[in-house]
Amino acid sequence: MTTSNRQDLKEKVIAQADQSVETLYRYLRLTSVSAQHLEIPETVQFVADLLKSVGGEVKILDDLGGNPVIYGFFAAGSKGNANKTLLFYNHYDVQPPDPLDEWESEPFEPSLKDGILYARGTADNKGSLMLRLAAIKALEQADGLPCNIKFLIEGEEEIGSPNLPRYLKEYAELFKADACIWEFGSKDAQERVELYAGIKGSAYFELSTKSASIDIHSSLAAVIDNPAWRLVQALASMKNQNNDITVEGFFDEIEEPDEALMEIVRALPFDKSGLTGPFGLTRPLITEARGENPRDALMLYPTMTICGMVSGYIGEGAKTVLPKEAKVKIDCRMVPGQTGEHLLACFERHLARHGFSDVKVELIESQRAYRSDITDPFLHLVKKTAEEAYGSEAVLYPNSPGTGPMYQFNECLQLPIVSTGVGWAESKAHAPNESIRMKDYADGCLHMAYLLTDFAAE
């Protein structure tokens, strides 16, 4: 593409990005919380109609259970390369907006302030879908689509994509492509564009113990065991004060990173302010006390996190009660080699060995970790076009510390995958006041247009 054609495309992309904002607002107003099954049918229809309005062929797949998966197809134009196909992965579901009292505006009513758009789903993941469609519209207006484009848009990503593997296996031929752009990404605190060639896995557990059929007067604590203390003691046996995971066998299946991967990780930038700034941290980073590099930990180490605990009375004032039961939710971010099933067996064995066989363990959901081949040319094409579109440095990370169904994609489709999105250092995905910057939205749209153009020409 000549310089003049590139400039013409840029002008069309910026215009389409501006025109797409009102549609993005309507999308954000849909409360598509998968955990609570809110407005799922309405959102499916909205997204299907949106794809059709841009010229896509659409199929709503709902025959294998769960929230529907939406397939979209856009054929290469008459001047395009019909032998190349790029797949986009997105999701239409969002996280619950809680805690509501920490939002500075209504979570499902978009609010634009000083060039920043606030609403649940802006960064994760509705903004990314809209900018990709705006890029397609601009390309169609320019010289036609440069290659075939497919979309897989699911509605259960925020609850672990439990049904997606079945759809991928059943419809592998439908979603077949040469490469895939994943659903998220952001700029860091130094305005570098973050790209991810992989993802950590996740296993989500509930641990519970029960000592009675009803809550009991706390005066009887002299003779009746307290399940809350029991669970606290069990948890203390699983992780020590130095934050070492002490569950026997937890690390046994990990694939050790080779020297080539370690060289890449050692060269990655790390800006502490990207963690300490947005979150109001009150304690030092765990890695500081352990003498470890935070960058290495985020890329390469598994985790075990208490996400929430419930037992007894935690309302206003006093209620002297001995709770009947106690529960805790734990998530483990896994690295390549680990599986949720193996960790479940480790937890059960550990608890039994340490005298806590009464503590029940349930594996709620599990996804394996995945890394694309970091040397694949497609990954570096994504990086090159990102730097051109954003006008800033892009960093290609071997994997994100977060999780998604990337392993299942590669297992069924066998294609290089890289993740890029529209977030920024203070997007606060999953938290109150989630946001994107409109300048990043326009630049992200331009990135997708440049990427599709250059991908087709390779």
| pLDDT digit string, tens, across residues 228-238 | 999 999 999 99
Task: Write out the two tokens for 100.
Answer: 């509501």
Nearest to 303 by CA among 281, 280, 287: 287
Residue 273 pLDDT > 90, yes or no? no
For CA atoms 208, 211, 215, 218, the dihedral sign is negative
Q: Which residues contact 53 (CB under 8 A, 6 or more apart)?
A: none
Closest CA to 126 of 447, 446, 423, 428: 423
* Confidence (pLDDT) at 207: 99
How remote is the C-alpha of 209 from its chain's centroid? 31
Tokens linked to 337: 């080699």
Q: With beta carbons less than 8 A apart as the criterion, state whether 402 and 331 touch.
A: no
Section 66-87 average pLDDT: 98
Question: What's the distance, Cα to Cα, between the start and end of the chain in Å?
Answer: 12
Least confident interval from 81-85, 352-356, 404-408: 404-408
Mean pLDDT to the nearest integer, 282-303: 92
Average pLDDT taken over every residue of the chain: 96
Residue of higher predicted confidence among 221 and 281: 221
* Contact in structure between 55 and 74 (CB atoms under 8 Å): yes
Quick check: 275 pLDDT over 90? no
The pLDDT tens digits for 119-161 are 999 999 999 999 999 999 999 999 999 999 999 999 999 998 9
182, pLDDT greater than 80: yes
User: Token pair for residue 65?
Assistant: 């259970």
Predicted confidence (pLDDT) per residue in 334-385, tens digit: 999 999 999 999 999 999 999 999 999 999 999 999 999 999 999 999 999 9
As assigned by CATH, the class of the 3-197+372-457 domain is alpha beta
Domain limits, CATH 3.30.70.360, in the chain: 201-367
Cβ-contact 127, 115 below 8 angstroms = no
Q: How much is the pTM? A: 0.90
What is the reported pLDDT for 277?
A: 73
Torsion of CA 280, 284, 287, 293, to 10 degrees: 70
Tell whether the model's pLDDT for residue 241 goes beyond 70.
yes
* pLDDT over 80 (residue 248): yes
For residue 125, cis peptide bond before it (omega within 30 degrees of 0): yes
One-letter-per-residue 3-state SS of the chain:
CCHHHHHHHHHHHHHHHHHHHHHHHHHHCCCCEHHHCCCHHHHHHHHHHHHHHCCCEEEEECCCCCCCEEEEEECCCCCCEEEEEEEEEEECCECCCCCHHHCCCCCCCCEEECCEEECCCHHHHHHHHHHHHHHHHHHHHHCCCCEEEEEEEECCHHHCCCCHHHHHHHCCCCCCCCEEEECCCEECCCCCEEEECEEEEEEEEEEEEECCCCCEEHHHHHCCCCHHHHHHHHHHCCECCCCCECCCCCCCCCCCCCHHHHHHHHCCCCCCHHHHHHHCCCCCCHHHHHCCCHHHHHHHCCCCEEEEEEECCCCCCCCCEECCEEEEEEEEEECCCCCHHHHHHHHHHHHHHCCCCCCEEEEEEEECCEECCCCCHHHHHHHHHHHHHHCCCEEEECCEEEECCHHHHHHHHCCCEEECCCECCCCCCCCCCCEEEHHHHHHHHHHHHHHHHHHHHC
In this prediction, residues 254-276 reach a mean pLDDT of 88
Amino acid at 242: N
Q: What pLDDT shows up at residue 4?
A: 73
What are the pLDDT digits (tens) for 324-333? Answer: 999 999 999 9
Q: State which fold the 201-367 domain adopts.
A: Alpha-Beta Plaits (3.30.70)
Closest CA to 210 of 363, 362, 359: 359
Write down the pLDDT at residue 280: 84
Q: For residues 239 and 1, which has the higher predicted lDDT (pLDDT)?
A: 239
Q: Which two tokens stand for residue 96?
A: 């619950």
- Distance, CA of 76 to chain centre: 29
Average pLDDT over residues 389-415: 95
pLDDT at 1 over 70: no
